């Protein structure tokens, strides 16, 4: 397909997260992640919108968090009627809102309103949203011209409480979503948004050596992934679907059950120094998904086999912090680690299955596919050691 004219996305600027407990999110972002709380809804806006919101920022990462208040209908309450806590909206900054609207509508996008203009302090904030094949997640496009606040209805806090981004978060590297079938979303991204396929991988238990396939199936390893990219802005979406024959046991199917639908599974945040960031976050009590020790026993051999060779980092330190490594060429790799999902973190299913990834790229443009297999092989090894499997 010839490349479509760009809708003019500049960047993915924010996640809008709908939650039952804004205070808990506030503690997580400001005290643990060292984000600054930069704006909140006023009591008047809360009463009018039936939701209370707060904006948390670190580097170019923005997370807007909203909790329903009272009994009125709000965006947050509509989402939470159907789902546990989750990302119900992605916000994109665009160059020209009218161009984005016209192109999206021409190509079959479904705006939920006309372009809405909010004026304040001599500036304008113009926006519209569209429905998407990402479950109940809306995509919202915004254009600002001298608008004084980050978003209408939010009042900037003169002295933002919370952090100063001591962990060095940069921007949202990619957003990963799970679907029972991803093709409608891939086609929509291609034909409506004008994105292109960037990367593809299939991972299955049959890829794993040894004779533990049945045991591995219990861990739900079958999945297929396609990454779509906006050639104009470089914004990337990774997309997963379950893969036969263990479809029901796939982690993607399990996610779908937990969220009660398709939707956004994780967002990856870039950092400049993942070792320092992970060490600091652990000291503050942030919990990460565990990595088996056997992953690191096999790492030197894997670095050899994949041609990555020597790392700048000390392997013992990576092992202590449980940071993962992937890549495909000499000296070109990425380092990544995944936080525990909210439901696991809070011991509460209604906190939802969303989680953050932290990523430091050192020349590798991938998404850590090599770690899928390495992690499953490590689990298998642990099972052997424990006499299971």
Q: Which residues bind Fe ion (CB under 5 A)?
A: 176, 268, 357
Q: Which residue has the tokens 């490349």?
A: 3
Angle (CA) 336 207 181, round 5°: 75
**Rounded (5°) CA angle 342-346-349:** 70
Q: How far is the CB of 175 from Fe ion (least distance, A)?
A: 8
Which residue lies nearer to Fe ion by CB, 149 or 318? 318
Token pair 């990856």 is found at: 268
> Which of 66/176 has CB closer to Fe ion?
176
Phi, psi of 283 (to 5 degrees): -60, -30
Taking the least distance from each CB to Fe ion, the nearer of 208 and 269 is 269
For residues 75 and 262, which CB has a smaller minimum distance to Fe ion in the complex?
A: 262
Please say whether the dihedral angle defined by the alpha carbons of residues 31, 32, 34 and 40, taken in this order, is positive or negative. Answer: negative
For the bound state, the minimum distance from the C-beta of residue 173 to Fe ion, rounded and expressed in Å, comes to: 8
| Closest to Fe ion by CB, 243 or 372 | 372
Residue with tokens 């016209």: 102
Cβ of residue 268: shortest distance to Fe ion, in angstroms?
Answer: 4
**Contact between 137 and 87 (Cβ < 8 Å):** yes
Minimum distance from residue 68 beta carbon to Fe ion (Å): 29
- Nearest-approach distance from CB 176 to Fe ion, in angstroms: 5
Cα-Cα-Cα-Cα dihedral sign, residues 68, 73, 79, 84: positive
Q: How far is the CB of 291 from Fe ion (least distance, A)?
A: 15
Phi, psi values for residue 313, rounded to 5°: -90, 155
Q: Evaluate whether 208 touches 216 at the Cβ level (below 8 Å).
A: yes
- Residues facing residue 375 across a β-bridge: none
Q: With respect to Fe ion, which residue has the nearer C-beta, 51 or 225?
A: 225
């Amino acid at each position: 397909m010839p490349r479509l004219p760009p809708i003019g996305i500049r960047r993915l600027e924010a996640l809008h997260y709908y939650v039952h407990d804004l205070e808990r999110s506030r503690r997580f972002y400001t005290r643990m992640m060292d984000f600054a709380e930069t704006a909140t809804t006023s009591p008047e806006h809360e009463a009018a919108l039936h939701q209370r919101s707060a904006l948390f920022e670190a580097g170019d990462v923005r997370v807007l968090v909203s909790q329903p208040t009272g009994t009125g209908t709000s965006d947050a309450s509509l989402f939470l009627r159907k789902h546990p806590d989750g990302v119900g909206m992605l916000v994109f900054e665009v160059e020209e809102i009218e161009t984005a609207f016209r192109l999206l509508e021409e190509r079959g996008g479904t705006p939920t309103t006309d372009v809405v203009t909010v004026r304040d302090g001599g500036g304008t904030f113009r926006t519209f949203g569209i429905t998407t094949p990402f479950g109940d997640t809306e995509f919202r496009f915004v254009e600002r011209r001298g608008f004084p606040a980050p978003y209408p209805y939010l009042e900037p806090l003169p002295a933002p409480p919370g952090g100063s981004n001591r962990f060095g978060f940069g921007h949202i590297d990619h957003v990963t979503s799970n679907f029972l079938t991803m093709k409608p979303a891939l086609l929509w991204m291609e034909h409506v948004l004008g994105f292109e396929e960037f990367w593809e991988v299939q991972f299955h238990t049959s890829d794993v050596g040894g004779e533990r396939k049945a045991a591995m199936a219990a861990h739900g390893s079958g999945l297929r992934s396609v990454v779509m990219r906006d050639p104009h802005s470089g914004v990337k979406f990774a997309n997963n679907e379950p893969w036969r024959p263990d479809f029901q046991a796939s982690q993607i199917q399990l996610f779908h059950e937990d969220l009660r639908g398709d939707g956004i599974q994780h967002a990856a945040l870039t950092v400049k120094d993942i070792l320092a960031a992970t060490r600091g976050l652990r000291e503050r009590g942030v919990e990460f998904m565990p990595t088996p020790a056997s992953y690191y026993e096999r790492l030197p051999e894997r670095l050899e086999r994949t041609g990555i060779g020597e790392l700048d980092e000390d392997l013992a330190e990576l092992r202590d912090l449980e940071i993962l490594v992937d890549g495909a060429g000499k000296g070109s790799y990425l380092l990544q680690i995944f936080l525990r999902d909210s439901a696991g973190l809070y011991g509460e299913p209604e906190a939802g299955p969303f989680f953050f990834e932290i990523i430091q790229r050192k020349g590798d443009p991938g998404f850590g596919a090599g770690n899928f297999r390495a992690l499953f092989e490590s689990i298998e090894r642990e099972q052997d050691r424990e006499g299971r499997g």
